[in-house]
Amino acid sequence: MYSFKNDYSEGAHPKILNALIESNMEQEEGYGNDVHSQNAISKIKKLIGNENIDVHFISGGTQTNLIAISAFLKPHEACISANTGHIAIHETGAIEYTGHKIITVDSNDGKVTVEKIQEVLEFHTNEHLVKPKLVYISNSTELGTIYTKEELKVLSEFCKSNDLILYSDGARLGSAMCVKDSNLTLSNMCNFTDAFSIGGTKNGALLGEALIIKNENLKKDFRYLIKQKGGLLAKGRLLGIQFEELFEDNLYFKLATHANEMANLLTKGLEEVGCEFLINSPTNQIFPILENKQIEKLEKKFDFHVWEKIDNTRSAIRLVTSWATKKEAVLEFIHEIKQTIYSENLN
């Protein structure tokens, strides 16, 4: 049974495993002070074209979000997030555990707009309500959609002029950046946000996210906060080595491009048989709408999430591809769905 369930089903890209083996018996400083972490930080700074940023490696996405957001906010300050945002739903109240309210705005496409933020600001005007201070976006979003460079610029300017922190969760940033014809760069991400993450876990690493902090006011004592939340790995080399590899020879972008291509291939195959989609996604998560009968048949050969009931006979499923997705599996899925439809027609 082949799985399109998520982008963390396999281990790490072989180059990463190789690098772990080669460096294994080196004696290194702990807690991210090793040469590999320092080297990876240099590479990222060079890629972004900014030596004045701070870069921290943290083990996972929820961990990164909760450390960053709780470090950036004072106790009465709140986040604004799309109602589909990972922090708003799928992190077991991690942000609230650190004491901060998440104000959700309704969103059909996983994205936050200036209009929605404006409404929140207009409502929250005195000390009986929380003070909205940070805008959380994810790029690509939980629905596979992306913010274009232009959209990010608009958000960025609005946040700046309203004294709001713009933070981007990049668990799937690679996928967002490697969409065909995208001209979004890491340098853009850095310019437009106060802080953003570059996800490793879902793009070829065993684990690890890089957190980039540009805003000077948010940098101070940040390692204290990573340590306090249990995010400072003793063998920090494990994270450093992986990001060293991911940013060698554009591996990070090659892997994300492969993931997107595999998803696009699935999309194309599904479109060919007339399939509709819950939402139009150019990235590595797609949401085709299928007959429940079809889904049942597909489930015998493939693993995936049934995302949402559409009506009594149809549901949207989620298919996720990754750096490790095999083209043959994609073709087989398309073949299977064509068969399914063919046999449907016979009935």
Please give the residues from 81 up to 120 whose contact with a second copy meets the rule CB under 8 A. 89-94, 96-102
Nearest distance in Å: CB 303, a second copy: 8
Beta-sheet pairing, 2-3 with 54-58: unpaired
Q: Which of 41, 57, 61, 315 touches a second copy by CB under 8 A?
A: 61
Binding positions for a second copy, 269-298, rule CB under 8 A: none
Nearest distance in Å: CB 76, a second copy: 4
Q: Which is nearer to a second copy, 135 or 207 (CB)?
A: 207
The contact mask relative to a second copy for 159-188 (x = CB under 8 A, - = no) is ------------------------------
Among the listed residues 88, 124, 132, 131, the one whose alpha carbon sits nearest the alpha carbon of residue 106:
88
Segment near a second copy (CB under 8 A); pick from 139-147, 159-167, 234-242, 255-263: 234-242
Nearest distance in Å: CB 181, a second copy: 29
Q: Which of 221, 311, 312, 347 touches a second copy by CB under 8 A?
A: 221
Binding positions for a second copy, 124-143, rule CB under 8 A: 127-131
Segment near a second copy (CB under 8 A); pick from 45-53, 68-76, 139-147, 289-297: 68-76
Separation CA 201–CA 208 (nearest Å): 6
CB atoms within 10 A of CB 125: 9
* Two structure tokens written together for 48: 């972004």
Helix (H) or strand (E) holding 211: strand 209-213
Half-sphere exposure of 246 (CA within 13 A, CB side): 31
DSSP string, 262-330: HHHHHHHHHHHTT-EESS---SSEE-EEEEHHHHHHHTTTEE-EEEEE-SSSEEEEEEE--TT--HHHH
Q: Tell me if 321 contacts a second copy by CB under 8 A.
A: no
Nearest distance in Å: CB 52, a second copy: 21
Nearest distance in Å: CB 1, a second copy: 8
Nearest distance in Å: CB 154, a second copy: 27
Binding positions for a second copy, 29-48, rule CB under 8 A: 29-31
Q: Tell me if 67 contacts a second copy by CB under 8 A.
A: yes
* Two structure tokens written together for 152: 């990010």
Q: Which of 232, 255, 263, 298 touches a second copy by CB under 8 A?
A: 232
Q: Which of 40, 238, 256, 319 touches a second copy by CB under 8 A?
A: 238
Nearest distance in Å: CB 81, a second copy: 12
Q: Which is nearer to a second copy, 131 or 149 (CB)?
A: 131
CB-based contact 123:129 (threshold 8 Å): yes
Beta-bridged to residue 81, according to DSSP, are 104, 136
CB atoms within 10 A of CB 337: 22
Segment near a second copy (CB under 8 A); pick from 10-18, 37-45, 185-193, 292-300: 10-18
CB atoms within 10 A of CB 339: 11
CB-based contact 226:60 (threshold 8 Å): no
Separation CA 40–CA 270 (nearest Å): 40
Q: What share of the chain is helix, strand, coil (3-state, %, to 5)?
A: 45, 20, 40
Q: Which is nearer to a second copy, 100 or 116 (CB)?
A: 100
Segment near a second copy (CB under 8 A); pick from 142-150, 161-169, 230-238, 310-318: 230-238
Q: Which of 111, 172, 202, 214 touches a second copy by CB under 8 A?
A: 202
Q: Tell me if 255 contacts a second copy by CB under 8 A.
A: no
Nearest distance in Å: CB 61, a second copy: 7
CB-based contact 16:206 (threshold 8 Å): yes
